[in-house]
């Protein structure tokens, strides 16, 4: 029989159900906030829980029970009469294992990290007195679900707006398809742009996700497989052949040279540009006998100067994968970008911030780069783009480009605009000498390109003078 829709919307009484949620982060928090209205017996199993979950527990301890530990292999059947399990940890492999055990014992399960392993989807819930509505998709278009739910809530809150809202929504709109890597962080960053576009009259956005070559090759350092340009090739191809209309990149992942037919449209406001130290979950002291998980030569040379004697091991994969490897004990610490952790809602994992003087960031760190097709009109993005970030990244990229360095080279550059002046601080590393020098240059923001070039020439000359 033909299957038209993936999941049947069935409303059930949860008041006698026993539900286990593995994980204590943002997803688990949303699940508890939703389920609390329906009266089930909820247990959250996780060594750590979010501040919001702590607040809920303090406000009403009867909402859920907290079992402050990690998952134990094959433990679920031992509970008996488990009705529902939610696998919502930050470890995709662990979530998969929980699904496997549940299915072996006929327990309904939802995997927050893999829509293909869900016996059911969590809908967006709308409450109106004694009315409950649930909205879901096939698990691939969360933005559309959120937008529809928000629209319905607005209509219920103010019925007088319903007719005008419906008329506005039936108007023909210009579709902007946004190409992005499929990692959770990349999708969140693309959604930031999409949410802005949806607010522009006459426009609507849609995400087009894809896996890039850099996402597929995880056993080698980036500088040994061609640099971070590997993260944009597939996105470039989608732009060229018309499968997407705009690409959203982490600016630090962009090659220094971009095709003329695919110009950079502009840049977002900068998020926190600093690098940070992340320790295993629950640890307060850094075990320096274990290696630091790091694949960036830029970070390695600066961290080695701060902490002589520490050793490194390559770590690849998205942020959540790296955190899982850290928590498994493979590393004593990770060095990551604060911006990515904050956008993922994982700022609580940060153990220490490095100042931009201690560890100069990668060119473009914390900024989103928007790339389009030559000849297209992207004026509707004007309200999203940030002029100051544009000046800063122009100086940073000019510095790296002048030194003929790719994004994975041990070169660093960070600019700020203060009191109408642009100040650029940068690092130049000599592979031959195994040393680095740093320096600064200051001038008008409009001179950003020339400032970057001049500082690159200055530091290169300084390094030659030290030989």
Q: Burial level of 280, CB count in 10 A (0-12/13-18/19+)?
A: buried
* Whole-number Å distance between alpha carbons of 95 and 87: 5
* Whole-number Å distance between alpha carbons of 165 and 172: 14
Residue 260, classed as helix, strand or coil, is coil
Sign of CA dihedral 216, 219, 221, 225: negative
Sign of CA dihedral 348, 351, 357, 361: negative
- How crowded is residue 217: how many other Cβ atoms within 10 Å of its Cβ? 14
Long-range contact list for 65-68, CB < 8 A, 24+ apart? 66/24, 67/43
Strands 368-371 and 411-418: what pairing? unpaired
User: How far from each other are the two terminal CA atoms of the chain, in whole angstroms?
Assistant: 76
Task: Indicate which residues carry an active-site annotation.
Answer: 253
Print burial letters for 49-76: b (CB count within 10 Å at least 16), e (below 16): bbeebeebbeeeeebbebeeeebeeeeb
**Nearest 5 degrees, angle CA 108-CA 75-CA 139?**
30
Contact 361, 322 (CB under 8 A): no
Nearest to residue 178, comparing CAs of 164, 196, 162?
A: 196
**Nearest 5 degrees, angle CA 95-CA 98-CA 99?**
90
Contact 251, 311 (CB under 8 A): no
* Whole-number Å distance between alpha carbons of 313 and 417: 36
Contact 172, 241 (CB under 8 A): no
Output the CA torsion 266→270→274→275 (10° steps).
-50
* Whole-number Å distance between alpha carbons of 375 and 263: 10
**Nearest 5 degrees, angle CA 227-CA 229-CA 231?**
105
C-alpha pair distances (Å), 395 with each of 132, 261, 267, 368, 453: 53, 22, 13, 16, 8
Q: Per the structure block, which two tokens stand in for 95?
A: 């979530």
């Amino acid at each position: 029989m033909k299957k038209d829709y993936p999941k049947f919307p069935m409303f059930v009484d949860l008041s006698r159900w026993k539900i286990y949620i593995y994980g204590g982060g943002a997803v688990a928090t949303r699940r508890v906030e939703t389920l609390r209205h329906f009266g089930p017996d909820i247990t959250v199993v996780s060594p750590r829980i979010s501040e919001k979950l702590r607040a809920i527990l303090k406000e009403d301890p009867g909402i859920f029970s907290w079992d402050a530990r990690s998952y134990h292999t094959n433990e679920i059947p031992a509970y008996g009469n488990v009705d529902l399990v939610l696998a919502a940890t930050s470890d995709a492999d662990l979530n998969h294992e929980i699904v496997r055990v549940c299915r072996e014992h006929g327990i309904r399960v939802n995997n927050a990290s893999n829509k293909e392993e869900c016996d059911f989807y969590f809908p967006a819930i709308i409450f109106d007195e004694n009315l409950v509505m649930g909205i879901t998709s096939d698990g691939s278009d969360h933005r559309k679900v959120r937008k529809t739910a928000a629209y319905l809530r607005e209509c219920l809150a103010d019925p007088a707006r319903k007719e005008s809202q419906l008329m506005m929504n039936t108007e023909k709109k210009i579709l902007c398809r946004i190409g992005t890597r499929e990692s959770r962080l990349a999708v969140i960053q693309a959604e930031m742009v999409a949410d802005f576009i949806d607010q522009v009259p006459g426009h609507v956005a849609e995400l087009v996700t894809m896996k890039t070559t850099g996402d597929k090759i995880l056993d080698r350092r980036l500088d040994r497989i061609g640099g971070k340009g590997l993260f944009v090739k597939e996105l470039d191809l989608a732009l060229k052949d018309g499968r997407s209309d705009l690409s959203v990149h982490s600016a630090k992942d962009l090659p220094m040279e971009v095709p003329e037919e695919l110009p950079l449209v502009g840049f977002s406001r900068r998020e926190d540009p600093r690098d940070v130290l992340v320790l295993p979950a629950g640890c307060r002291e850094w075990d320096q006998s274990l290696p630091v998980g790091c694949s960036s030569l830029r970070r390695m040379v600066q961290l080695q100067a701060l902490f002589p004697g520490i050793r490194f091991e390559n770590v690849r994969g998205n942020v959540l994968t790296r955190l899982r490897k850290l928590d498994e004990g493979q590393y004593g610490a990770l060095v990551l970008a604060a911006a990515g952790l904050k956008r993922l809602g994982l700022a609580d994992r940060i153990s220490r911030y490095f100042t931009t003087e201690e560890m100069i960031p990668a060119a473009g760190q914390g900024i989103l780069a928007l790339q389009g097709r030559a000849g297209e009109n992207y004026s509707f993005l004007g309200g999203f783009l940030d002029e100051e970030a544009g000046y800063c990244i122009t100086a940073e990229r000019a510095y790296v480009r002048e030194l003929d360095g790719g994004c994975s080279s041990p070169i660093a550059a960070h600019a700020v605009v203060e009191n109408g002046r642009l100040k650029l601080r940068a690092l130049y590393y000599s592979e031959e000498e195994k040393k680095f020098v740093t320096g600064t240059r200051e001038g008008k923001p409009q001179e950003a390109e020339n400032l970057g070039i001049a500082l690159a020439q200055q530091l290169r000359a300084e390094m030659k003078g030290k030989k």
